[in-house]
A = this chain, B = another copy of it.
Amino acid sequence: MQIKKEEVREAILTTAEKEFLEKGFNNASLRKIVKNAGTTIGNFYNYYESKEALFVALVEKEYNGFIHLINGHHAIKKPEINEADKNDIGLIRTIINHYLEDFVKVLSDRFILLIECSEGTPYEDTKQLIIRLLEEHFIEHIQEHNANYSNKEMGEILAKQFLEGFTDILRKYKKTEIRQKLITELIVFYSFGVMALTQ
């Protein structure tokens, strides 16, 4: 029956998400997932063809949405800030916060799966992909402020750190408003940090 099936599928997804988040893909135990979902190993394979397929089912939407985003289809328009306002941190905070609103709503915990728990899956390169994107972004900013800044290596380091802080916020805080507030702080922090570096 369709209804029954979907209940089981959902139960598996729910417990799997928890297990993958805690242990990562490789260390997650399929046995424990299905047990906690109230079904059996055998039945699991009626719903998903492998442990990997289960992981894919959890993150593919998140992944595709993200790829769509970075391909510019839903690009977050860059907020324009007058040169005069660039030192008014309160104002900048407000603007960032506003621009983050839609973005944060869309974030789900599965983003964490994609970034931090995907080793051993087809998505294991996603983290690197995002780091590269962020790195480009940081380097752009750095160039903008000071084309002579010599520590190009900082681009990648900051990118990795930023992503770490970002997923850390998602792991620890589940309420949209708090996430939005903290990500805003993070962006402020990185903006001024980068400015300092390049002075």
Contacts and interface: CB of A to CB of B under 8 A. Distances in A.
Contact of A162 (B26, B154, B161): B161
The count of identical subunits is: 4
Contact of A189 (B27, B172, B194): B194
Interface string A150-179: 010110111011101100110011000010
Contacts of A192: 192-193, 195-197
Contact of A196 (B26, B162, B173, B188): B188
A165 B173 CA distance: 22
Interface of A is mostly: helix
A186 interface: yes
A89 interface: yes
Contacts of A182: 151, 153-154, 157
Contact of A185 (B151, B178, B186, B189): B151
Contacts of A161: 161-162, 164-165, 168
19 contacts: A151-B182, A151-B185, A153-B173, A153-B178, A154-B185, A156-B168, A157-B172, A161-B164, A185-B197, A188-B196, A189-B194, A189-B196, A190-B193, A191-B196, A192-B192, A192-B193, A192-B195, A192-B196, A192-B197
